[in-house]
Amino acid sequence: MIRNNEKATTGQGTRGILVTTRIEITPAIVEEHGLTPAEYAYLLEVLGREPTIAELGVFSVMWSEHCSYKHSRPHLATLPTKGPAVLHGPGENAGAVDLGEGWACVFKVESHNHPSAVEPYEGAATGVGGILRDIFAMGARPIALLDALRFGPPDEARNAWIIRGVVHGIADYGNCVGVPVIGGEFSIDPCYTDNCLVNVMAIGVARHEELMTARAEGVGNLLVYYGNATGRDGIHGATFASAELTEDSAEDRPCVQVGDPFMEKKILEATIELIASGRIVALQDMGAAGLTCSSTEMADKGGLGLRMNLDKVPQRAANLTAYELLLSESQERMLAVVRPEDLPLVARILRKWDLDACVVGETTDTGRFVVEHHGTVEANIPLPAICTHVPKPEPVQAAPAALDVRDWTTVDFAAIEWNGLLLAALSSPHFASKRWIYEQYDHQVQTNTVVRPGAGAGVLRIAGWSGLLASTIDGNGLWCMLDPYEGTRCVTAEAARNLVACGARPLAATNNLNFGSPRKPAGSWQFAEAVRGLGDACRALGTPITGGNVSFYNESPRMAVFPTPVVGMVGVIDDPSRLTPATFRNEGDVVVLLGPAATHAGGSRILRDLTGDLVGPAVRIDLAMEKRVQEHVLRLVGDGVLTAATDIADGGLLMALAEMALGSDGGLGCEIDLAADEAPAAALLSEQPSRFVVTCTPGDVESLLALSRDAGVRAVPLGTVRGGVFSIGGVLSLTVYELYEAWEKPL
Amino acid sequence: MSARWAVVIFPGSNCDRDFVRALRDVLRVEVVEVWHKDSVPEAIDCIAIPGGFSYGDYLRAGALAAMSPVMASVRTHAERGTLVIGVCNGFQVLCEAGLLPGVLTKNDTLRFRCHDVYLRSELNGGPFAGTGLPQGEVLRLPIAHGFGNYYVPPEQRDAIERHVAFRYCDPLGDVSRRANPNGSVDNIAGVTNAAGNVLGMMPHPERAVEALLGGTDGLRILQAMQDWVAGVRAG
């Protein structure tokens, strides 16, 4: 995958060239491989000679941001990654946490932003494939997907084409492999016009003893390649435009890979059988930088070396060079480390699935990556130089982005007609029903889906485990643009709040950090601030980070995306009977707001859509208060006091109430009264954190209020659940049917 | 004594484990899993062909699976009167194999659709309805398919009319155009063969066997099959 490769975003071509080994390495070629003169000097020092073209390619991808995290690593190192539940933190294919009773949950999120912007269908489909392989390479069966999608406004034809293609690509791939999409988010803002964000989270489960690692052990063990044959697809965005490198028969080489979900399903089932056999030493999927990255990382983690013979690699294109074989990102390929005596059994399992076990190399004790092709040594590189001792980039002078922020009080609220405002917001693509999306996803296959997509967190049962698993994925570029530190803290808290609302105790988090260029002062600053916020929030909420992904260079010459960290979180509902719905349940229930009073409407999605401006100030969070409110809600859920709960996030109290009505069976609405001294704009639109809307029966109101008082959490009765009507005293009055009509418009 | 079940598994099947779980953990019956390169054993009373994307649905949905070695034994069983239920991709496989009439083409919405539907049972007793599922009864079951648009040529419609098992309907049982999720002719959601022992249907009974997951109407079909086998055995 090329997501972190600047070449891909600056739109350089990808003309296909047959690269021979006899290429003189000129400064131009070095530059095309994204290496700075200082990095190249370090390369020469490491090798003690000029590299071959294959070696240059290997250094180039292994030192790229995606493989080396060279810009992000110093920041990511500050994140909390330990906790009692963490079994595997960052560094493995995916993180793993303990669910209890011997069960482990493996989860991770990855982006496929750049490929999806170029070829939405295949870009998104192969993104699903890649994250699923990360999960089953850990020994876990993938049981769910969640997607966080961000696009430019669909009234531009190209955006609409990208949206449809991405949704279709995720659907076709996930449906065929048979992994349900159980939740996600879909957001629209002009800042995502040139760079859509396609982040997919996958969740798997395994018994503790089935968990696999990507650390090779033992000298003389075999590297077994299985899955698709290798082609020219997805080779590093580096290009060779100079005449002396080009053959007359140069062909266009697609830079986005093509997915084959049937092959994915076969390697998934075969991998699970292989791991169950106990004969696999280490396992990794071939993702970014393909054969190179997967093999060298496993060997380096084990302190070993590698000898590889490229003649043994299955190939589906003629005359592939060593350079191409090493760097190809053809999809659905796996690499296992196997003891020689276990090869026959491994081959037999693979054959059951019509797969071949191809021995492409072996582990050595040299600490070097030695690659032969057609009888010639094409690469001989010390492994630490490409895996761990990566050159540090020159520091970028970080500086805040210059923002043109409009204060929320300058919006002419007197002119707002609230009925029309709500109906317009509900029919906008950001807030409108996502049914047209999730009905294209098989969200029930594997028969674990307890809470289907469409309302709050996705909830799964796991056969043989007494709890329920809740999961969510959340981001908010608008909050983070206004203040990346505070915004990221709020996003992380929102993810936790989503879990708490359904009755789940947040366990651990993963993340996908979508940013512009880290080589520019603003991008560098936004990234540093966001990671600082993520760490603060995760520490305060007790949700360690178990892994993640960084996607830089989400920018074009005319715009960069808002800084958009996306947080995926899993949580546990210990007692399934405490699963709490996010929608109105009973007519006559009392609606109560829990949490601090709203003081402003800055950061409001509705005001952003209404004005087109960046409306501030930024939302800020008191994490101690957040934690207190969350614990209080979990206590109320445990005591069986609540009939429904949802958190307040984008769209504010207004949208939280509307969604509780829209998701209800039988058209339940509510009659709400705001306090006389409260201005509707802040009360209804504020996206300030640490707030929930809950309902309880009239008989439980007194105890809810008393418990809240004792917990030090503000609780304000707002009104009552009513059939068919949706009214907010003196502000708006609609029927639930009118809300539904506005909301249920497919894109 | 309860029926002995076989669940056929092709590469690309993805509802096989769900079917096995519904039978083994909910219906609590004996189940063998049969790999596509093997044959269904002799001593089997009911065969399930599960949903998914057998062989990636390459060529046509179900077309390659219909040619696989295991289908020869399914055919023999079907001719002998063994009960066979094909769900979703399994329905497509049975049509492609010629064990059921008609074909399943792309949904008229041109999209994959996953949601609950209502079905009116057209079965008048028999192995898939028995006495527990009266004709005209309305069931709620999930669908999840891109190719569920059932088609038979006009000249065959009269012939299959007696073998229609389920039709898409509204919650009150009214078979309307609005209730048809995929454009199937005459709202047909499931059919049997002429002998009545082979059923194909697009909705997923094996997904609707537990209240926790949203419904148990699927159990009524699977239970009817169980009861039928027990009745035949009892003579």
CB–CB of A381/A295 below 8 Å?
no
How many domains are there within chain B? 1
Assigned superfamily of A6-71+212-387: PurM-like C-terminal domain (3.90.650.10)
Interatomic CA distance for residues A312 and A310, integer angstroms: 5
Domain span holding position B131: 4-234
Token pair recorded at residue A56: 């240059």
Give residue A78's pLDDT.
94
Give residue A255's pLDDT.
60
Chain A interface, mutation test: which of B114, B117, B143, most A Cβ atoms within 10 Å?
B114
User: Residue A477: left (phi > 0), alpha (psi -120 to 50), or beta?
Assistant: alpha
A310 backbone dihedrals φ, ψ, rounded to 5°: -70, -15
**Does residue A635 surpass a pLDDT of 50?**
yes
A732 backbone dihedrals φ, ψ, rounded to 5°: -150, 155
For chain A, the domains span 6-71+212-387, 580-747
Mean pLDDT calculated for residue range A610-627: 96
Interatomic CA distance for residues A432 and A153, integer angstroms: 13
pLDDT tens-digit map of A218-251: 999 999 999 999 998 777 543 332 222 333 333 4
User: Could A442 and B56 be called an inter-chain contact, meaning their C-beta atoms sit closer than 8 Å?
Assistant: no
Give residue A22's pLDDT.
66
Interatomic CA distance for residues B172 and B205, integer angstroms: 19
Residue B106 CB partners (closer than 8 Å, separation 6+)? B146, B147, B149
**Does residue A91 surpass a pLDDT of 90?**
no
Distance from CA of A446 to the nearest CA of B (A): 6
Give residue A89's pLDDT.
87
CB–CB of A368/A383 below 8 Å?
yes
Strands B164-169, B188-192: pairing is antiparallel
Q: How large is the C-alpha radius of gyration of chain A?
A: 26
Q: Matching CATH topology for A6-71+212-387 and A580-747?
A: yes
Give residue A398's pLDDT.
83
Alpha helix ranges (H) inside B24-177: 69-80, 89-96, 154-161
User: Could A447 and B52 be called an inter-chain contact, meaning their C-beta atoms sit closer than 8 Å?
Assistant: no
Interatomic CA distance for residues A477 and A551, integer angstroms: 14
Closest alpha carbon within chain B to A172: B112
- Local structure of B70: helix, strand or coil: helix
Residue A706 CB partners (closer than 8 Å, separation 6+)? none
Distance from CA of B123 to the nearest CA of A (A): 27
> Average per-residue pLDDT in chain A?
91
Tell me whether B14 touches chain A (CB under 8 Å): yes
By the 10 Å C-beta count (0-12 exposed, 13-18 middle, 19+ buried), B105 is classed as: middle
* Of B220 and A7, more confident: B220
Token pair recorded at residue A294: 């997967």
Give residue A575's pLDDT.
96
User: Could A176 and B25 be called an inter-chain contact, meaning their C-beta atoms sit closer than 8 Å?
Assistant: no
Hey, which residues 79-118 in chain B have their CB within 8 Å of chain A? Answer: 111-115
Chain A interface, mutation test: which of B10, B14, B38, B110, most A Cβ atoms within 10 Å?
B14
Give residue A235's pLDDT.
74
Local confidence band at A257 (pLDDT 50, 70, 90 cut-offs)? confident
Interatomic CA distance for residues A653 and A598, integer angstroms: 10
- Name chain B contacts of A172, Cβ cutoff 8 Å: 112
Give residue A399's pLDDT.
85
First-to-last alpha carbon distance for chain A, in angstroms, is: 29
Interatomic CA distance for residues A164 and A743, integer angstroms: 19
Tell me whether B216 touches chain A (CB under 8 Å): no
Q: Can you name the CATH fold of A580-747?
A: Phosphoribosyl-aminoimidazole Synthetase; Chain A, domain 2 (3.90.650)
Local confidence band at A360 (pLDDT 50, 70, 90 cut-offs)? very high
Residues of A labelled as active-site residues: 66, 112
Closest alpha carbon within chain A to B115: A439
Mean pLDDT calculated for residue range A685-705: 97
User: Could A262 and B11 be called an inter-chain contact, meaning their C-beta atoms sit closer than 8 Å?
Assistant: yes
Closest alpha carbon within chain B to A182: B114
Q: Could you tell me if the ipTM is greater than 0.90?
A: yes
- Name chain A contacts of B17, Cβ cutoff 8 Å: 446
Closest alpha carbon within chain B to A355: B11
Give residue A250's pLDDT.
37
Interatomic CA distance for residues A30 and A26, integer angstroms: 6
Mean pLDDT calculated for residue range A265-277: 96
User: Residue B88: left (phi > 0), alpha (psi -120 to 50), or beta?
Assistant: left
Give residue A2's pLDDT.
30
Hey, which residues 130-159 in chain B have their CB within 8 Å of chain A? Answer: 142, 144, 146
CB–CB of B189/B200 below 8 Å?
no
Interatomic CA distance for residues B42 and B73, integer angstroms: 9
- Name chain B contacts of A439, Cβ cutoff 8 Å: 111-115
Tell me whether B166 touches chain A (CB under 8 Å): no
Chain B interface, mutation test: which of A177, A272, A348, A445, most B Cβ atoms within 10 Å?
A445
Interatomic CA distance for residues A350 and A270, integer angstroms: 6
Closest CA to B143 of B181, B172, B192, B96: B181
**Does residue A17 surpass a pLDDT of 70?**
no
CB–CB of A645/A457 below 8 Å?
no
Closest alpha carbon within chain B to A168: B111
CB–CB of A747/A432 below 8 Å?
yes
Centre a 10 Å sphere on the Cβ of residue A28 and count the other Cβ atoms it contains: 12
* CB nearest to B18's CB, from A176, A446, A461: A446
How is chain B split among helix, strand and coil, in percent rounded to 5?
Answer: 30, 25, 40
Distance from CA of A538 to the nearest CA of B (A): 32
Mean pLDDT calculated for residue range A437-446: 96
Give residue A747's pLDDT.
58
Interatomic CA distance for residues A271 and A353, integer angstroms: 10
Question: Low-confidence residues of chain B, pLDDT below 50?
Answer: none
User: Could B11 and A444 be called an inter-chain contact, meaning their C-beta atoms sit closer than 8 Å?
Assistant: no
> At A369, which amino acid appears?
F
Interatomic CA distance for residues A421 and A734, integer angstroms: 12
User: Could B21 and A261 be called an inter-chain contact, meaning their C-beta atoms sit closer than 8 Å?
Assistant: no
Provide the CATH number for the domain around residue B173: 3.40.50.880
Distance from CA of B231 to the nearest CA of A (A): 30
A vs B, Cβ pairs < 8 A, gives 85
Q: Which helix (H) or strand (E) holds A537?
A: helix A521-541
Interatomic CA distance for residues B206 and B87, integer angstroms: 9
Alpha helix ranges (H) inside chain B: 16-21, 69-80, 89-96, 154-161, 218-234
By the 10 Å C-beta count (0-12 exposed, 13-18 middle, 19+ buried), A705 is classed as: middle
pLDDT tens-digit map of A564-579: 999 999 999 999 999 9
Interatomic CA distance for residues B94 and A116, integer angstroms: 37
Distance from CA of A104 to the nearest CA of B (A): 20
- b or e along A306-340 (b: 16 or more beta carbons within 10 Å of the residue's beta carbon)? bbbbbeebebebeebbbbbbbbbbbbbbbbbbbee
Give residue A233's pLDDT.
79
pLDDT tens-digit map of A527-560: 999 999 999 999 999 999 999 999 999 998 888 9
Give residue A252's pLDDT.
39
CB–CB of A615/A696 below 8 Å?
no
Distance from CA of B115 to the nearest CA of A (A): 6
Distance from CA of B131 to the nearest CA of A (A): 28
Percentage with pLDDT > 90 across chain A: 79
Residues from A in contact with B at Cβ < 8 Å: 171-172, 175-178, 260-263, 265-266, 269, 352-354, 438-450, 452, 461, 463, 576
How is chain A split among helix, strand and coil, in percent rounded to 5?
Answer: 35, 25, 40
DSSP for A155-191 reads: TSHHHHHHHHHHHHHHHHHHHHHT--EEEEEEEE-GG
- b or e along B220-232 (b: 16 or more beta carbons within 10 Å of the residue's beta carbon)? bbbbbbbbbbeee
**Does residue A502 surpass a pLDDT of 90?**
yes
Give residue A8's pLDDT.
30
**Does residue A3 surpass a pLDDT of 50?**
no
pLDDT tens-digit map of A663-691: 998 899 999 999 877 888 999 999 999 99
Distance from CA of B82 to the nearest CA of A (A): 27
HSE-CB at A312 with a 13 A cutoff on CA atoms is 18
* CB nearest to B55's CB, from A262, A441, A448: A262
CB–CB of B143/B177 below 8 Å?
no
User: Could A265 and B14 be called an inter-chain contact, meaning their C-beta atoms sit closer than 8 Å?
Assistant: yes
Local confidence band at A736 (pLDDT 50, 70, 90 cut-offs)? very high
Give residue A212's pLDDT.
87
Centre a 10 Å sphere on the Cβ of residue A205 and count the other Cβ atoms it contains: 25
- Name chain B contacts of A351, Cβ cutoff 8 Å: none
Residue A616's DSSP bridge partners are A407
* CB nearest to B14's CB, from A178, A353, A450: A178
A451 to A179, A496, A497, B11, B38: CA distances (angstroms): 15, 17, 16, 29, 38
- Name chain A contacts of B214, Cβ cutoff 8 Å: 452
Identify the residue whose tokens are 């800042």: A191
- Name chain A contacts of B106, Cβ cutoff 8 Å: none
